[in-house]
Amino acid sequence: MDKNSVLDLKPFLPAKDYAVAKQFYLDLGFTMVWEGDQLAAFQVGEYRFLLQNHYVKEWAGNFMMHLMVTDADAWWKHIQDKKIAEKYPGMMAKPPTLQPWGLRVLYLSDPSGVLWHIADDRKA
């Protein structure tokens, strides 16, 4: 196998309510680069994931995404300014906190239960 032959890698995220999930990711600041009835592609920077119109509670509740950013505080401010936690009741949103492994992590769940770790490498 030639590891240089890999061109892309995208996770498929579940959506309990496809329309609500699409709006959540737009509000969060992702760009929807294409969409269909069952699948939509979202991008931030050079990175993409696929949101699918499919949901299994146990799968969604155990699915996690890690997004490394330069400034988790800026992401937290955006989440607060857009009132995302209020707009999507039942989700979890915790501000950036330094973790024992050295990253500052903002925890955010999407409307389907997917847990996002939005992290930076600043120590303070």
Helical ranges in the chain per DSSP H: 18-28, 57-60, 72-81, 84-87
Looking at the DSSP bridge assignments, the partners of residue 91 are none
Separation of alpha carbons 36 and 44, rounded Å = 19
pLDDT tens sequence for the chain (124 residues): 787 888 899 999 999 999 999 999 999 999 999 999 999 999 999 999 999 999 999 999 999 999 999 999 999 999 999 999 999 999 999 999 999 999 999 999 999 999 999 999 986 5
Q: What is the pLDDT of residue 124?
A: 55
Domains and CATH numbers, the chain: 10-120 (3.10.180.10)
Question: Residue 79: what residue type?
Answer: I
Single pTM value for the model = 0.93
- Cβ atoms 33, 41 nearer than 8 A: yes
Of 61, 72, 37, give the one whose Cα is nearest residue 51. Answer: 37
Of 56, 69, 86, give the one whose Cα is nearest residue 30. Answer: 69
